[in-house]
């Protein structure tokens, strides 16, 4: 989730969606266990997004929220850790890196947020989604918010030059040894100290490696 900067209280929409998805995940886990069902990743992705869609529509009405109060980027992945596959939908801008391939989603500052479609039929909305990705037999999968494109110089000192592609590769594909919980803190410090760059927008990276 990444709140929309042109929205009202953008952190609210991102936080609300996070809490709804957490509840949906818990309920889905309990239901599939009780019913002894084994839905596919595509089925889970559609069901999860459908439940989020319904909850957001209900909460918007209950809390009398405007469209601008529920705008947020959403990158949602259902990952099957047994066969290393994933079904992903990107609503808004972001980046997906799978093994050696990097896919950029840029809607040119006009993201088509979920909040714009809550009055529609969900089946119609689902069928209209084009920013979908299927990954199989992967060793490394990463998703990043568009803050990954926001690195800017923070001083006038001389630093080593670096391209945007090199930054993306380092952040999303490079495998760094060491404690995983400190990986991105070290990477951001390295970018700052070596290239003189810092992210000027919120940056979130979710990564799964085998």
Q: What is the DSSP string of 138-156?
A: -SEEEEE-GGGG-EEE-SS
| Residues 151, 47 share a domain | no
Neighbours of 204 (CB within 10 A): 17
pLDDT at 27: 95
| Residues 127, 169 share a domain | no
Residue 183 has pLDDT above 90, yes or no: no
Q: Sorting pLDDT into bands at 50, 70 and 90, what band is 3? A: confident
Q: Per residue in 111-166, pLDDT tens?
A: 899 999 999 999 999 999 999 999 999 999 999 999 999 999 998 999 999 999 99
3-state helix, strand, coil in the chain (%, to 5): 45, 25, 35
Question: What's the mean per-residue pLDDT of the chain?
Answer: 92
| Residues 119, 33 share a domain | yes
Instruction: Decide which of 138, 172, 191 is a domain's last residue.
Output: 138
| Residues 66, 83 share a domain | yes
What does the block give as tokens for 101? 């391939």
What does the block give as tokens for 174? 């490079």
| Residues 200, 131 share a domain | no
Number of structural domains found in the chain: 2
Q: Sorting pLDDT into bands at 50, 70 and 90, what band is 178? A: low
**Angstrom distance (rounded) from CA 116 to CA 3:** 14
| Residues 128, 168 share a domain | no
Range of the domain at 102: 2-138
């Amino acid at each position: 989730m990444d709140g929309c900067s042109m929205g009202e209280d953008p952190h609210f929409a991102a936080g609300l969606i996070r809490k709804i998805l957490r509840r949906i995940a818990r309920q889905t886990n309990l239901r599939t266990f009780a019913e002894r069902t084994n839905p596919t990743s595509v089925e889970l992705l559609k069901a999860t997004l459908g439940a989020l869609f319904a909850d957001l529509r209900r909460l918007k009405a209950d809390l009398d929220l405007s469209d601008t109060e529920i705008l947020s980027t959403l990158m949602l992945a259902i990952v099957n850790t047994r066969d290393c596959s994933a079904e992903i939908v990107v609503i808004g801008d972001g980046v997906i890196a799978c093994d050696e391939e990097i896919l950029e989603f840029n809607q040119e500052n006009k993201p088509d947020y979920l909040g714009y479609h809550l009055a529609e039929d969900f089946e119609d909305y689902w069928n209209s989604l084009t920013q979908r990705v299927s990954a199989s037999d992967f060793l490394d999968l990463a998703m990043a918010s568009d803050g990954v494109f926001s690195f800017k110089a923070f001083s006038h000192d001389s630093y080593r030059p670096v391209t945007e592609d090199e930054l993306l590769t380092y952040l999303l594909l490079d495998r760094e040894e060491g404690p995983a919980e400190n990986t991105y803190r070290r990477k951001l410090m390295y970018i700052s100290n070596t290239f003189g760059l810092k992210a000027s927008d919120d940056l979130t990276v979710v990564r799964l490696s085998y």
